[in-house]
Amino acid sequence: MVLERTAADRVAVRVVWAGGDWSEFAADTGGHALRELSGIGAIERLVAEMARAGASDAAIAEALDAQGHHLDHGRRVLLSTIRKLRLAQGIRYRPEMRRRVAGALTLPEVAEAVGVSQAWLHHRIRTGRIRLALDPQHRMYLFPNDPAVLDAVRQLVDGSVTTVDLTPSAPH
């Protein structure tokens, strides 16, 4: 018997019989991590493509199964795996489900409008470069829905100003 590892999760097996004949087949050995799966690149691309098109994690899992993609030992791709791959690529599920507050802009809305990441805004709030209190009722940061506020944040982004004060007593 001859074993040859053809990928991190796959081996080629050749059985040589006493009469000189042989049989060949491939076997999955299983992997300990997603990155070890030989078809992970195709799975990641399909997950990203379908998620950006608005497909649910369940629909993506069904499509992967229908196309023959699987995890180690032929197991179906789990919903938790789809979610993990989608989030690793920065694709958030159901952006239409974001919390909205009438008369205010949420942190994700401001980040998208200004062209920065949510983490960038959170860091500026934590370090005091953006002075903004957590809204006690909604338990989230709410920016005044005012074009001047977005302009002030853009100025912070480009370095024209060093701080933006959005406390209720400060002028915008």
103-131 residue pLDDT tens: 899 999 999 999 999 999 999 999 999 99
Please identify which residue in the block is written with the tokens 């999955």. Answer: 28
Domain boundary residue among 38, 61, 88?
Answer: 88
Structure tokens at 128: 């005091």
20-65 residue pLDDT tens: 888 988 776 666 566 666 677 888 899 999 988 888 888 998 998 8
Answer whether 52's CB lies under 8 Å from 46's CB. no
Q: In the chain, how many domains are there?
A: 2
Q: What CATH number does residue 119 fall under?
A: 1.10.1660.10
Say yes or no: 12 and 78 in one domain: yes
What residues make up the domain containing 7?
2-88
Domain boundary residue among 88, 106, 134?
Answer: 88
Backbone angles phi, psi at 54, to 5 degrees: 100, 10
How many residues does this entry show for the chain?
Answer: 172
Burial label for 35, CB within 10 Å (0-12, 13-18, 19+), is: exposed
131 in any annotated domain? yes
Nearest to 3 by CA among 35, 27, 20: 27
Structure tokens at 153: 């944040």
110 in any annotated domain? yes
Buried b (16+ CB within 10 A) or exposed e, 39-56: ebeebbebbbebbeeebe
- pLDDT at position 31: 60
pTM (2 d.p.):
0.46
